[in-house]
C-alpha cells in the first residue's frame, strides 16, 4: 500500500529535494491529504495565495523586524535584487557589506553563499504542482465553483511554475524537473538536472501557453497576480532569452491587446499608456492606479513586517551602494527626471548607499527625510511593466533589422525621462542601437532586478563587467583579473542542494 504524504509533509519534502534547509521535518500523517483538502473554493484561494507567498518571500524577504534580510545572511529573501543586480554594474559593496554582496560584487561566488540556494524556488514549484493536480477536483464538491474559477487558478499555477523555472535556468542553467507533486514516500526523491534548453522547451513555454489558454482574456487584472498581460510578458521574456526575436515580438504584440490594472489596454505603438513623466513614480508607489504596471509584488509591512530590501533607505548600514561609475555617468544627464527619484546623487558617506525608488520622496539631503522609517513602509516591486516591455520590443525589432521601429520604442522611454528624442542619425548600426537600448534599460529599470539578466542575455557580461571588476579589484588591492572564467556566468549550485541530492553535479568553474 502506498504511503501518501499530507500537504504539510509535502512542503517539507520539496525543500529536502531542492536544498537542505534548517529545521525541516515531516509532520504527522494524521493531517489532511491533498485529496481530502481540496473540497471548496476557499481551498483554491488559499492554495494560490500560498504559491504567491512563497515567491514573494524569496524575492523580498521574510519580513522579520527582528532580523533583516538585508543584513542577516541566514535570513531568507531579498533575492529580487541579489539575483537580478548583485553581480552587475548597478550595485557595489557599501562600507557595511554582508557576505552575500561581498561575493556577488567581487564575482567571487562560493556554493555556501545564501544567494546560491534555489530551495525557495522549488518550494514555489511544488506548491504550483499541488494546485495543478488538485484544484480541478474542487468543482465536484463545491457547486459555487465554476470552470472559469478553476481555469483562472490553474493559469496562475502554471505561470508561477514557469516563472520559478525561468529564474532557475537563467541563474543555474540546467535544472531538476518536477512537474508533479511529491506525494508518495516510496517515490524516488532525487533526480538529475535536465539541460536548460529542455527545461525551457518542455516546461516553461508549455506551462505559459497553457496559462494563456486557460486565463480569461480582456479582463482588468489585479496587479498583484499574473493575468493575461503578465503571461504575455513572461513569454516574451523567455523568447528573448532564447534569442527567438520573432516569437518575442509576437508575444509583446499580444500584450498590447491586454488590459492593465486601470482597465485600459496597453496598446503598443503609443506613449499614452505609459505613466506620465510628472507622475513616473506612481508605477512604484501606487501600481493599482497606474496604467503601466503589468505584474508587481506587494509587501505590506503591517502584515509581514519590514521588507528590508538590500538597497533600502536606512540611516546607515545598507549592505549595498550605487556603483560609483554608474552614479557619476548618470549625473551628467541633468535633464533625466529618473535620477533624483531613484538614487541619492551625493557621494559622501551615508548617501551612496541610498536608493529612493520605492519610497515617497526624492532627496539629496537625508535631513529632508526626517521622520521617515523604511521599516514601516509598504514596498511594491515590479516584475514586469510597460516601459520594460517597450525596451525589450525595441531590442527585438533591432535584432530583426528594423532600426526605425527600435528607435521609436526607445524614444518613448527616453523622451519621457529627458524631454528629448534621440535623432535618427545617432544610432545607425544594430550594435549601436543595442548598446543604447541596454543603457536606457539600466537607467529606467535600475533597482528592478533586470540588469544582470540583460547582460547575460545579450552576451555582454565580460565586456561590461571586466573594467568594473578590475577597478574594484584594484581598489581592494586584489589581483586585477576582471570577470575571469566565463563559465562563472552561471551561479554555483548550493552546498545544501548538493548534499541533499547526490544526483546533482556542480556547475563548471566552481
Number of domains in the chain: 1
Q: Phi/psi of residue 55, each to 5°?
A: -70, -40
Annotate 118-148 with b (16+ C-beta within 10 A) or e (fewer): bbbbbbbbbbbbbbbbbbbebbeebeebeee
The pLDDT value recorded for residue 348 is 64
Is residue 282, in this structure, part of any structural domain at all?
no
Residue 302, Cβ density class (10 Å: 0-12 exposed, 13-18 middle, ≥19 buried): exposed
Residue partners of 307: CB distance under 8 A and separation at least 6: 60, 61, 63, 299, 301, 374, 377, 378, 379
| Close Cβ partners of 23 (under 8 Å, ≥ 6 residues apart) | none
Q: How far apart are CA 157 and CA 154, in angstroms?
A: 5
Residue 122: give the domain boundaries. Answer: 1-21+32-216
Report yes or no on 193 lying in a domain: yes
Q: Each residue's pLDDT tens digit in the chain (510 positions)?
A: 344 444 444 544 444 444 433 333 333 333 567 777 899 999 999 999 999 999 999 998 754 333 343 334 444 568 999 999 999 999 999 888 889 999 999 999 999 999 999 999 999 999 999 999 999 999 999 999 999 999 999 999 999 999 999 999 999 999 999 999 988 777 888 999 999 999 999 999 999 999 999 999 999 999 999 999 999 999 999 999 999 999 999 999 999 999 999 999 999 989 999 999 999 999 999 999 999 999 999 999 888 888 888 886 655 577 888 898 998 899 888 899 999 899 877 766 666 677 889 988 755 544 445 566 777 889 999 999 999 999 999 999 999 999 999 999 999 999 999 999 999 999 999 999 999 999 999 999 999 999 999 999 999 999 999 999 999 999 888 889 999 999 999 999 999 999 999 999 999 999
> Phi and psi for 259 in degrees, rounded to 5?
-95, 145
Number of H helices, E strands in the chain: 21, 4
CATH of the domain at 208: 1.25.40.390
The answer as to whether 365 is a domain residue is no
The full DSSP string for 372-395 is --GGG--EEEEEEEHHHHHHHHHH
CA separation (Å) from 303 to 13, 84, 179? 27, 26, 32
CB 8 within 8 A of CB 31: yes
User: Would you tell me how many other CB atoms lie within 10 Å of the CB of residue 331?
Assistant: 15
Residue with cell 473554493: 41
Query: What global pTM score does this model have?
Result: 0.91
Instruction: Look at residue 9 and tell me if it is in a domain.
Output: yes
163 in a structural domain: yes
Residue 90 domain-assigned? yes
Buried b (16+ CB within 10 A) or exposed e, 53-79: ebbbbbbbbbbbeeebbbbbeebbbbb
- Count of alpha carbons within 13 angstroms of residue 79, beta-carbon side: 25
Q: Does some domain include residue 16?
A: yes
Q: Domain for residue 105, yes or no?
A: yes
Rounded Cα distance, 262 and 150, in Å: 25
Query: What pLDDT shows up at residue 305?
Result: 82
Cell of 407: 528607435
Residue 143, all three cell numbers:
457547486
Amino acid at each position: 500500500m502506498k504511503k501518501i504524504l499530507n500537504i504539510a509533509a509535502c512542503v517539507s519534502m520539496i525543500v529536502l529535494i531542492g536544498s537542505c534547509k534548517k529545521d525541516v521535518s515531516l509532520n504527522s500523517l494524521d493531517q489532511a491529504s491533498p485529496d481530502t483538502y481540496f473540497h471548496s473554493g476557499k481551498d483554491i484561494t488559499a492554495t494560490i495565495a500560498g504559491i504567491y507567498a512563497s515567491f514573494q518571500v524569496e524575492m523580498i524577504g521574510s519580513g522579520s523586524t527582528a532580523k533583516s534580510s538585508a543584513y542577516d545572511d541566514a535570513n531568507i529573501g531579498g533575492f529580487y535584487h541579489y539575483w537580478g543586480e548583485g553581480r552587475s554594474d548597478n550595485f557595489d559593496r557599501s562600507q557595511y557589506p554582508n557576505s552575500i554582496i561581498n561575493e556577488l560584487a567581487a564575482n567571487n561566488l562560493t556554493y555556501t553563499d545564501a544567494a546560491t540556494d534555489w530551495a525557495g524556488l522549488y518550494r514555489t514549484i511544488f506548491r504550483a504542482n499541488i494546485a495543478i493536480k488538485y484544484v480541478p477536483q474542487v468543482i465536484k464538491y463545491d457547486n459555487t465553483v465554476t470552470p472559469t474559477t478553476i481555469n483562472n487558478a490553474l493559469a496562475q499555477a502554471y505561470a508561477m511554475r514557469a516563472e520559478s523555472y525561468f529564474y532557475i535556468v537563467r541563474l543555474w542553467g540546467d535544472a531538476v524537473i518536477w512537474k508533479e507533486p511529491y506525494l508518495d514516500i516510496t517515490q524516488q526523491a532525487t533526480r538529475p538536472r535536465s539541460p536548460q534548453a529542455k527545461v525551457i522547451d518542455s516546461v516553461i513555454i508549455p506551462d505559459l501557453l497553457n496559462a494563456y489558454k486557460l486565463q480569461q482574456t480582456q479582463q482588468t487584472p489585479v496587479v498583484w497576480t499574473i493575468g493575461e498581460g503578465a503571461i504575455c510578458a513572461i513569454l516574451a521574456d523567455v523568447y528573448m532569452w532564447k534569442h527567438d526575436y520573432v516569437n518575442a515580438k509576437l508575444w509583446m504584440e499580444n500584450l498590447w491587446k491586454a488590459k492593465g490594472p486601470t482597465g485600459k489596454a496597453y496598446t503598443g505603438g503609443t506613449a499614452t499608456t505609459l505613466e506620465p513623466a510628472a507622475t513616473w513614480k506612481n508605477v512604484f508607489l501606487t501600481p493599482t492606479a497606474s496604467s503601466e504596471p503589468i505584474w508587481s509584488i506587494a509587501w505590506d509591512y503591517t502584515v509581514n513586517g519590514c521588507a528590508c530590501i538590500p538597497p533600502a533607505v536606512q540611516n546607515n548600514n545598507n549592505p549595498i551602494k550605487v556603483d560609483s561609475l554608474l552614479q557619476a555617468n548618470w549625473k551628467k544627464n541633468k535633464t533625466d527626471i529618473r535620477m533624483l527619484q531613484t538614487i541619492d546623487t551625493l557621494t559622501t558617506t551615508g548617501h551612496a548607499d541610498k536608493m529612493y525608488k520605492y519610497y515617497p520622496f526624492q532627496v539629496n539631503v537625508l535631513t529632508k527625510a526626517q521622520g521617515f522609517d523604511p521599516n514601516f513602509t509598504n514596498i511594491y516591486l515590479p516584475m514586469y511593466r510597460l516601459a520594460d516591455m517597450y525596451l525589450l520590443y525595441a531590442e527585438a525589432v533591432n535584432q530583426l533589422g528594423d532600426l526605425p521601429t527600435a528607435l521609436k520604442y526607445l524614444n518613448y522611454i527616453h523622451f519621457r525621462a529627458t524631454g528629448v528624442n534621440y535623432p535618427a542619425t545617432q544610432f545607425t548600426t544594430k550594435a549601436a542601437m543595442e548598446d543604447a537600448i541596454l543603457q536606457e534599460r539600466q537607467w529606467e529599470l535600475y533597482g528592478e532586478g533586470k540588469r544582470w539578466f540583460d547582460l547575460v542575455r545579450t552576451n555582454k557580461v565580460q565586456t561590461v563587467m571586466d573594467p568594473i571588476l578590475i577597478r574594484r579589484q584594484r581598489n581592494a588591492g586584489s589581483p586585477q583579473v576582471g570577470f575571469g572564467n566565463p563559465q562563472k556566468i552561471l551561479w554555483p549550485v548550493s552546498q545544501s542542494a548538493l548534499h541533499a541530492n547526490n544526483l546533482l553535479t556542480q556547475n563548471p568553474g566552481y
